[in-house]
Structure 1
Amino acid sequence: MTQTAPLTGDETAGGPAGATDVANMSFEQARDELVRVVAELEQGSPTLEHSLALWERGEALAARCEEWLRGAKQRLDAARATPDEGATT
């Protein structure tokens, strides 16, 4: 049975971690918070539990960024596949 300590402090711009649900974050919000999480992990956390909680949060944030990027690629691919209305062939 694993327990993860809730994150507290400045892990998110809006206060305690989880205050902004990852699924509702914009790409920029998720990216910026991921940068902060990585920086904190690089500095070292006071406990293993805190490090694990940060790691899990970082994984969720990275997945959200990946989701946004996949969506952007699909939109670009769709735009490229649509022939220009004014173009002659």
Structure 2
Amino acid sequence: MFAASGYDPGRPPERQELAKEPTLPKDITALSFEDALKELEGIVQQLERGQVKLDEAISAYERGALLKRHCEQRLAEAKMKVEKIVFSADGSVATQPADLG
């Protein structure tokens, strides 16, 4: 329930700030959804092969988590922009937000 906000009722108030997600690096935010997904898929394949040193695997996992978050944000933005075309009783055309839920 509180995970999305970063709030943890069991954590002391002075440590709540540490629970917030870090800002995405500029090199990731500059990626298109498709490019970020492609890189994420490459990281997953690399980790699944298991032929990476531990330190490299940890770094790859951390980058993968950031790429995943970026992709989720891009999808959420796209969902908000999607509209559907509707026809009114008089035959005119308009758009309204699509009900994707």
Give TM class, smaller chain.
Answer: 0.5 to 0.7
1:27, distance to aligned residue in structure 2 (A): 0.3
TM-score by length of 1: 0.65
Q: Is 1:56 aligned to residue 62 of structure 2?
A: yes
Whichever structure has more strand as a proportion of its residues is 2
> How do 1:36-47 residues align onto structure 2 when only pairs under 5 Å count?
36-47=42-53
Q: Given that residues 36 and 71 in structure 2 are in contact (C-alpha distance below 8 angstroms), is that contact kept between their aligned partners in structure 1?
A: yes
1:47, distance to aligned residue in structure 2 (A): 1.6
- The code of the aligned residue for 1:48 comes to L
SS at match of 2:52: coil
> How do 1:10-49 residues align onto structure 2 when only pairs under 5 Å count?
21-49=27-55
- The code of the aligned residue for 1:87 comes to S
SS at match of 1:32: helix
SS at match of 2:68: helix
Unaligned ranges ≥5, structure 2: 1-24, 91-101
TM-score by length of 2: 0.57
1:46, distance to aligned residue in structure 2 (A): 3.3
How far does the alpha carbon of each residue in 1:4-39 deviate from its partner, in whole angstroms, 9 at most, with x for none?
xxxxxxxxxxxxxx9x81011000000000000000
Looking at CA atoms only, which structure, 1 or 2, has the larger radius of gyration?
Answer: 2
1:44, distance to aligned residue in structure 2 (A): 1.1
Unaligned ranges ≥5, structure 1: 1-17
SS at match of 1:46: coil
CA RMSD of aligned residues (A): 2.2
Q: Which has the higher contact order (CA 8 A, sep 6+)?
A: 1
